Amino acid sequence: MPDLMPQSSPASSEPLLVVEGLTKYFPIRRGFFKRVVGQVKAVDHVDFYVQEGETLGLVGESGCGKTTTGRCILRAIEPTDGRILFRDPKLGRVDICKLDKEQIRLVRRNIRMIFQDPYASLNPRMTLLDIVGAPLRAMGLAHGKELEDRVAQMLQLVGLRPEYMRRYPHAFSGGQRQRIGLARALAPYPKFVVCDEPVSALDVSVQAQILNLLEDLQEQMGLTYLFVAHDLSVVAHISDRVAVMYVGKIVELASTAELFSSPKHPYTEALLSAIPLPDPRPREKRVLLTGEVANPANPPSGCYFHPRCSYAEEICKTHEPEFDEVTPGHYVKCHFGRELSLTGVVRMPDR
């Protein structure tokens, strides 16, 4: 088995970001006094790491907790429990969950976010100069003429003209707005970017432009991405490794090649088999899931996937499986992760 870790210099062999047991429960409140009557387990003990310079894809269906996971990393949402270890260039190795208000501001210089909706994420009442310059000004990184120069440089970097600086967002189309959002995210020269479905609101031809731009910028600026998306083809294209989430938990994590060719979790298999492929030739085998995604406020016992799983046995109903490393770098949360032989969407080249 080849080494599936990304090629990296020895200095950065320690991951840039390590997430351990990350948990976010949203309380369900009812009645006049807002009594807590239950919990939505949006993110439930999630573990993963991201190496410097790589892209980790985080996929799953709506409501699986992928967006919440991404937002917890910036503390845009306060996590309930867990550790988020980040190698900050200034602060050193810190647990983001434990930082105070001032420190979190410092860390947010290095961890930035790109939003899904190119219309909702830009303040329509501010010019590009103010939008892209906001992090620089608020973080005290630049002001006056310097700030303007930096904004101009950022706009150029994402493929927009610097003279657009005085315009408002309404002058731009969806794809261009996503470029503006990218310029804002990258303005403080971050190390890590959480990309929350950055292309899913865009048309196909524009989506390709933004994906290419993301890759170019990653190379130029040495960025590390957590790429949250529901479109598996897009995730496969951009990610080095991919994590699959189901009802608040990561059920499988492996290199892109492994995950798409030989998945080890039945949910991953079903997910891959459901992708509509732009290829008119008939598919070999199709796994169709029955039933519905489990309710994160009231999940089933044992393995959350067992009511829909065609390989389920008694143990799956009673015991929650461990998140195991079945082959180097390939983690699966399934009792039969080592035994099942499942079908991917891409065939391994014959060797």
Partner 1 sequence: MPENQVLVEIKDLHTYFFLAEGVVRAVDGVDLVIKRRQTLGVVGESGCGKSITSLSLLRLIPPPGRITQGEILYYKPSAGDNGSVDVINITALNPNGREIRDIRGNQISMVFQEPMTAMSPVRTVGQQIIEAIMLHQKVNKAEARKRAIEMLARVKMPKPERTIDDYPFQLSGGMRQRAVIAMALSCHPHLLIADEPTTALDVTTEAQILDLMRSLQNELGMAIMYITHNLGVVAEMAEEVAVMYLGKVVEQTDVKTIFLEPLHPYTQGLLSSIPRLDESIMRGEKRRRLQMIKGMVPDPYTRLKGCPFHPRCPKVIGDVCDQVEPASIWVRPGHMVRCHLYAEAVKSGPAPSH
Partner 2 sequence: MSGFLSIFKGKQQEPGAEVQAPSAQTKDERFYRAGQWQLVWWKFRRHRLANFAMIVLGILYFIAAFAEFVSPYDPLHRFKDFSAKPPSVIYIRDTEGRLRLPFVYGAIRARDPVTMRPVYKEDTTRIYPIKLFVRGDEYKFWGLFPSDLHLFGTGDPQMPLFILGSDHLGRDVLSRIFYGARISLTVGLIGVFLSFILGLVLGGLAGYFGGLVDEAVMRIIDVLVSLPAIPLWMALAAALPQDWPQLRTYFYVTIILSILGWTSLARVVRGKMLSLREEDYVMSAKLDGESEWQIIARYMLPGFTSYIIVSLTMAIPGMILGETALSFLGIGLHPPTISWGVMLQDAQNVQTIAQLPWLLTPVVFVITAVLMFNFLGDGLRDAADPYVT
Site of interaction with partner 1 (CB under 8 A): 61-62, 173, 175-176, 203-209, 211-212, 215, 219, 230, 232-234, 236-238, 240, 255-257, 260-261, 270-271, 273-280, 286, 288-289, 292-293, 345-349
What is the rounded distance in angstroms from the CA atom of residue 164 to the CA atom of residue 324?
Answer: 51
Q: Give, for 299, the enclosing helix (H) or strand (E).
A: none
* Cβ-based neighbours of 4, under 8 Å, separated by 6 or more: 241, 254, 255, 257, 258, 328, 329, 330
- When CB distances are held under 5 to 8 angstroms depending on the partner's kind, the choice from partner 2, partner 1, none that residue 65 binds is none
Q: Residue 33 has which token pair? A: 């006094």
Among 36, 91, 138, 348, contact with partner 2 (rule: CB under 8 A)? 138
Can residue 27 be called a binding residue for partner 2 (CB under 8 A)? no
Q: How far is CA 350 from the centre of its chain?
A: 32
Can residue 34 be called a binding residue for partner 2 (CB under 8 A)? yes
Can residue 105 be called a binding residue for partner 2 (CB under 8 A)? yes
Q: What angle do CA 341, 345, 346 make, to 5 degrees?
A: 95
Which one of 6-14, 36-44, 160-168, 221-229 is the stretch in contact with partner 2 (CB under 8 A)?
A: 160-168
CB of 86 to partner 2, least distance (A): 15
Residue whose C-alpha is closest to residue 288's, from 275, 301, 278: 275
- When CB distances are held under 5 to 8 angstroms depending on the partner's kind, the choice from partner 2, partner 1, none that residue 314 binds is none
- When CB distances are held under 5 to 8 angstroms depending on the partner's kind, the choice from partner 2, partner 1, none that residue 115 binds is partner 2
Q: Residue 82 has which token pair? A: 């867990």
CB of 134 to partner 1, least distance (A): 26
CB of 54 to partner 1, least distance (A): 9
Residue where the block lists tokens 């867990």: 82
What is the rounded distance in angstroms from the CA atom of residue 39 to the CA atom of residue 24?
Answer: 10
